[in-house]
A and B are shown apart, each in its own frame.
Chain A
Amino acid sequence: MMPSSAELYPVNNFIGDLVRSIFQQPAAAVINGLLALLSLMALVGSLGAVLIFLERKVSAHFQLRFGPMRVGPHGLLQPLADGIKSIFKEIIKPAGADTFIFFLAPLLPVSAAFLVLAVIPFDHHLQVADPAGGVLYVLGISGLSILGILLAGWASNNKYSLLGAMRSGAQMVSFEISIALLMLLIVMLSGTASLRGIVLAQEGTIFDWWIFKLPFLGIVAFIMYLVASTAELNRTPFDIAEAESELTGGFATEYSGISFAMFFLGEFVNMFVAACLVTTFFLGGFHAPLFGLPVIDPLLNLIPGFLWFFAKAFLIVFLYMWFRWTFPRVRVDQLMYLEWKIMLPASLILLMLSGLFVAQGWVG
Chain B
Amino acid sequence: MNDFLFYVIASAVALLSLLAVTLPNLLHGAIALVGSFFATAAIYIMLQMEFLALAQIALYVGGIVVFMLIIILLTNDLGVDNSLSRVSAGRQVGKGVIIAGFITALCLFFTSNPSLLLRTTEHRAAPVSIDEIGIRLLSTSNGFIVPFEVISLLLLAALVGAVVLSRRENKTEEKEKP
Partners in one complex: yes
| CB-based nearest B residue for A101 | B27
Pick the contact of B50: A132, A170, A173 (CB < 8 A).
Answer: A132
B148 to chain A, nearest CB (A): 16
- Chain B residues 6 to 45 lying within 8 A of chain A, measured CB to CB, are 25, 27-28, 31, 34
- Chain B residues 76 to 133 lying within 8 A of chain A, measured CB to CB, are 78-79, 129-130
Q: Which of A73-81, A143-151, A233-241 contacts B (4 or more CB under 8 A)?
A: A143-151
Give A21-39 as 1s and 0s: 1 = Cβ < 8 Å from B's Cβ atoms. Answer: 0000010000000000000
Q: Say if the beta carbon of A327 comes within 8 Å of chain B.
A: no
A61 to chain B, nearest CB (A): 37
Q: Which residues of A contact B57 (CB under 8 A)?
A: 136-137, 140-141, 143
Q: Say if the beta carbon of B47 comes within 8 Å of chain A.
A: no
Q: Assuming A98-B79, A101-B27, A101-B28, is B51 touching A132 (CB within 8 A)?
A: yes
Main secondary structure of the interface of B (DSSP, over half): helix
Contact B66 A150 (CB under 8 A): yes
Q: Say if the beta carbon of A253 comes within 8 Å of chain B.
A: no
Contact A169 B66 (CB under 8 A): yes
Please report the C-alpha to C-alpha distance between residue A288 and residue B63 in the assembled complex, in whole angstroms. 37
Contact A131 B65 (CB under 8 A): no
Contact A136 B73 (CB under 8 A): no
Q: Say if the beta carbon of B154 comes within 8 Å of chain A.
A: no
Give A194-228 as 1s and 0s: 1 = Cβ < 8 Å from B's Cβ atoms. Answer: 00000000000000000000000000000000000
Please report the C-alpha to C-alpha distance between residue A193 and residue B132 in the assembled complex, in whole angstroms. 13
Q: Which residues of A contact B61 (CB under 8 A)?
A: 140-141, 143-144, 147
Q: Which residues of A contact B129 (CB under 8 A)?
A: 132
Q: Say if the beta carbon of B160 comes within 8 Å of chain A.
A: no
Contact B130 A173 (CB under 8 A): no
24 contacts between A and B (CB under 8 A): A101-B28, A104-B31, A132-B50, A132-B130, A133-B54, A133-B130, A136-B55, A136-B58, A137-B54, A139-B62, A140-B54, A140-B61, A142-B62, A143-B61, A143-B65, A147-B66, A147-B69, A150-B70, A151-B69, A154-B27, A166-B70, A169-B66, A173-B67, A176-B62
Q: Say if the beta carbon of A273 comes within 8 Å of chain B.
A: no
Q: Which residues of B contact A176 (CB under 8 A)?
A: 62
Pick the contact of B66: A104, A146, A154 (CB < 8 A).
Answer: A146
Choose among A104, A140, A166, A170 the residue with the greatest number of B CB atoms under 10 Å from its CB. Answer: A140
Q: Assuming A147-B66, A151-B69, is B79 touching A131 (CB within 8 A)?
A: no
Q: Which residues of B contact A104 (CB under 8 A)?
A: 31
Contact B62 A131 (CB under 8 A): no
Please report the C-alpha to C-alpha distance between residue A101 and residue B28 in the assembled complex, in whole angstroms. 8
Q: Which residues of B contact A137 (CB under 8 A)?
A: 54, 57-58
Q: Which residues of B contact A231 (CB under 8 A)?
A: none
Please report the C-alpha to C-alpha distance between residue A26 and residue B2 in the assembled complex, in whole angstroms. 13
| CB-based nearest B residue for A191 | B131
| CB-based nearest B residue for A143 | B62
Contact B58 A140 (CB under 8 A): yes
Give A109-132 as 1s and 0s: 1 = Cβ < 8 Å from B's Cβ atoms. Answer: 000000000000000000000011
Q: Which residues of A contact B50 (CB under 8 A)?
A: 131-133
Please report the C-alpha to C-alpha distance between residue A150 and residue B30 in the assembled complex, in whole angstroms. 12
Q: Which residues of B contact A140 (CB under 8 A)?
A: 54, 57-59, 61-62
A311 to chain B, nearest CB (A): 30
Pick the contact of B73: A132, A139, A165 (CB < 8 A).
Answer: A165
A165 to chain B, nearest CB (A): 7
Q: Assuming A143-B62, A169-B66, is B54 touching A150 (CB within 8 A)?
A: no
Please report the C-alpha to C-alpha distance between residue A101 and residue B27 in the assembled complex, in whole angstroms. 9
Please report the C-alpha to C-alpha distance between residue A358 and residue B63 in the assembled complex, in whole angstroms. 30
Contact A133 B51 (CB under 8 A): yes
Q: Say if the beta carbon of A100 comes within 8 Å of chain B.
A: yes
Please report the C-alpha to C-alpha distance between residue A173 and residue B61 in the assembled complex, in whole angstroms. 12
Please report the C-alpha to C-alpha distance between residue A213 and residue B50 in the assembled complex, in whole angstroms. 31
| CB-based nearest A residue for B28 | A100
A134 to chain B, nearest CB (A): 9
B37 to chain A, nearest CB (A): 10
Q: Which residues of A contact B65 (CB under 8 A)?
A: 143, 147
Please report the C-alpha to C-alpha distance between residue A153 and residue B66 in the assembled complex, in whole angstroms. 13
A64 to chain B, nearest CB (A): 41
